[in-house]
């Protein structure tokens, strides 16, 4: 079903919620237009509502053998839009490698044929963004060998120094040297002085964590979300926070450019790899499908009120021993506390008395982040004393 651009408004808008024209079915495309987010503007989206190839104003194709010694040959034939969905198919079919060189040591050239095909679409030089809220609704195929991903790369610098954000990856973790355990991964990467594979802040969650809660999880669409600001990168799955990264910790080593890969524009990639981290596809039935309902990018509204946040917000006492008091004339959505490495210690909605109990924290330096309903944020360093 195609998305119908009709909205029904009610007084719930006063509570920053939108009532949609049609109920969302977890097993099919969402028929509703992009929702409104207070304090933010939808700066770009692709709803994949036109049957045929993806919009060339938004996407182009990767071709051939590309990365990670994966098994698939990337080509445009394996991706199409239909019924409001972008569909990437991984197929078991043999394709001649035109770059084949006998006895080559290059993995991209020493295979005469590819035994699998798939597609990877990227928004490089077409749709690129610095900061914002990214929402991608998708249904992934968890068949052995399948490795779907939603990720970004910085526009400047070679990998990993360009920076990478993995909003979603599904693949198989190794057990006794064999990739068998299905996981979902959320992670951020940047350059490392001695490790060619870069530095990583990684969070892996076993698929069974989700399927134990919902046996139909693999048959449903889910929303992967990134909240990316100058200070933090937060990665969510269906509103559950999986990974948080302090951007100041993702700087490249001295002498490498750019110095701050996650404070530059990034472009998006949607791809379905076969093999490698996805595990051995040979025992599985193909084709496999990776379906994307929409990709949406929101950014802080130009007319959102930010200039007075600093003036009208108080966080005290600092240093603090037991209770931290937060006072603001602006409405606070939630409060988060992080350690200096960017690890989230806790997150909560603001309490009526606007007090936060920090008595259990050890003495040291921490960061507090206030998120406001108008889309703005305030980050302050606090000192905890005994």
d(CA 169, CA 242): 12
**Residue-level pLDDT at 155:** 97
- What element of type H or E holds 368? strand 364-372
Q: Let me know if domain 309-384 sits in CATH 3.40.50.11610.
A: no
Which of 30, 34, 31, 5 is closest to 18 using CA atoms? 34
Per-residue pLDDT, 18: 38
Residue 12 is predicted with a pLDDT of 30
In three-state form (DSSP H/G/I as H, E/B as E, the rest C), the secondary structure along 282-300 is CCCCCCEEEEEEEEEEEEE
User: Pairing state of beta strands 377-384 and 364-372?
Assistant: antiparallel
Q: In the numeric block, which tokens belong to residue 121?
A: 């679409």
For residues 163 and 251, what is the distance between their CA atoms, to the nearest angstrom?
9
What's this model's pTM, rounded to 2 decimal places?
A: 0.83
Own/partner pairs for 175-178, CB < 8 Å, 24+ apart?
none
The structural domains of the chain, with segments of one domain joined by +, span 23-300, 309-384
Query: What pLDDT is stored for residue 303 in this prediction?
Result: 55
For residue 331, how many C-alpha atoms fall within 13 Å in the half-sphere facing its CB?
9
CATH number of 23-300: 2.60.120.200
Spatial separation of the C-alpha atoms in residues 192 and 251, rounded to whole Å: 9
Task: Tell me, letter by letter, the H, E, C secondary structure of 30-68.
Answer: CCCCCCCCCCEEEEEEECCCCCECCCCCCCEECCECCCC
Sign of CA dihedral 23, 134, 333, 341: positive
pLDDT (0 to 100) of residue 376: 79
Of the candidates 24, 48, 27, 26, the residue with the CA atom closest to the CA atom of residue 35: 24
Confidence at residue 380, expressed as pLDDT on a 0 to 100 scale: 86
Q: Is 95 helix (H, G, I), strand (E, B) or coil?
A: strand
Phi-psi group of 376: left, alpha or beta (phi > 0 → left; psi -120 to 50 → alpha; rest → beta): beta
Measure the CA–CA gap between 27 and 85, rounded to whole angstroms: 12
N- to C-terminal Cα separation, the chain: 59
Q: Do domains 23-300 and 309-384 have the same CATH topology?
A: no
Sheet bearing 323-328, strands edge to edge: 313-316, 323-328, 355-357
Task: Report, as ranges of residue numbers, the positions in the chain whose pLDDT lies below 70.
Answer: 1-21, 302-307, 350-353
CA distances to 69, 179, 183, 286 from 281, in Å = 14, 11, 16, 9
């Amino acid at each position: 079903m195609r998305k119908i651009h009709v909205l029904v408004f009610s007084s719930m808008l006063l509570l920053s919620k939108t009532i949609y024209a049609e109920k969302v079915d977890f097993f099919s495309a969402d028929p509703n237009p992009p929702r409104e987010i207070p304090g933010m503007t939808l700066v770009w989206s692709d709803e994949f509502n036109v049957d045929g190839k993806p919009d060339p104003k938004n996407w182009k194709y990767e071709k051939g053998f590309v990365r990670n010694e994966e098994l698939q040959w990337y080509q445009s034939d394996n991706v199409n839009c239909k019924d409001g969905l972008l569909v990437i198919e991984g197929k078991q079919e043999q394709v001649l490698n035109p770059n084949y060189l006998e006895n080559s040591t290059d993995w991209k050239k020493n295979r005469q044929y590819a035994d699998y095909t798939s597609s990877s679409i990227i928004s490089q030089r077409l749709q690129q963004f610095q900061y914002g809220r990214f929402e991608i609704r998708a249904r992934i195929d968890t068949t052995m060998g399948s490795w779907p991903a939603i990720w970004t790369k910085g526009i400047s610098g070679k990998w990993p120094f360009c920076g990478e954000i993995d909003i979603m990856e599904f693949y198989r973790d190794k057990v006794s040297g064999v990739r068998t355990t299905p996981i979902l991964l959320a992670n951020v990467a940047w350059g490392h002085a001695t490790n060619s594979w870069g530095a990583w802040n990684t969070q892996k969650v076993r698929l069974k964590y989700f399927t134990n809660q919902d046996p139909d999880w693999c048959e449903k669409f889910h929303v992967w979300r990134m909240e990316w600001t100058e200070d933090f990168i937060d990665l969510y799955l269906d509103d559950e926070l999986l990974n948080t990264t302090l951007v100041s910790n993702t700087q490249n080593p001295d002498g490498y450019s750019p110095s701050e890969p996650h404070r530059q524009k990034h472009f998006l990639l949607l791809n379905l790899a076969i093999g490698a981290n996805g595990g051995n596809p040979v025992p599985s039935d193909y084709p496999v499908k990776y379906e994307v309902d929409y990709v949406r990018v929101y950014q802080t509204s130009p007319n959102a009120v930010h200039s007075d946040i600093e003036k009208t917000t108080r966080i005290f006492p600092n240093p603090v021993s037991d209770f931290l008091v937060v006072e603001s004339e602006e409405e606070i959505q939630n409060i988060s506390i992080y350690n200096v490495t960017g690890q989230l210690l806790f997150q909560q909605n603001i309490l009526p008395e606007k007090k936060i109990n920090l008595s259990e924290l050890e003495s040291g330096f921490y960061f507090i982040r206030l998120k406001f309903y108008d889309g703005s944020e305030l980050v302050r360093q606090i000192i905890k004393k005994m």
